[in-house]
Amino acid sequence: MGSAAAPPPDRPKYALPERERRWLVAPSTAAALVAGPPTRIRDHYLEPGRLRLRCAVSSTGATVHKLGKKYGDRPAGDESITNLYLTAAEFDLLAALPGWIVDKQRYRVGPGALDRYGDGDDAAWIFELDFEDAAAAAACPHPAFADREVTGDPLWTGAALARRFGRRQPAAPAADGLSGAGRLV
Amino acid 172: pLDDT? 39
pLDDT of the residue at 10: 67
- Could you tell me which of 6, 14, 109, 137 has the C-alpha nearest to residue 67? 14
Number of H helices, E strands in the chain: 4, 9
Contacts (Cβ under 8 Å, ≥6 apart) of 159: 45, 52, 100
User: Nearest Cα to 158, choosing from 131, 120, 124, 111?
Assistant: 124
Question: Averaged in consecutive runs of 10 residues, what is the pLDDT profile of the chain (185 residues)?
Answer: 53 86 96 94 92 96 96 76 95 93 96 94 94 92 96 93 91 48 58
Task: Give the per-residue pLDDT at 165.
Answer: 96
Distance CA 94, CA 89 (A): 9
154, exposed or middle or buried, with CB in 10 Å at 0-12, 13-18, 19+?
exposed
Give the per-residue pLDDT at 183: 59
Q: What are the extents of the domains in the chain? A: 16-164
* Domain 16-164 fold: Hypothetical Protein Pfu-838710-001 (2.40.320)
pTM score, whole prediction: 0.84
Supply angle C-alpha 82, 86, 88, rounded to 5.
150
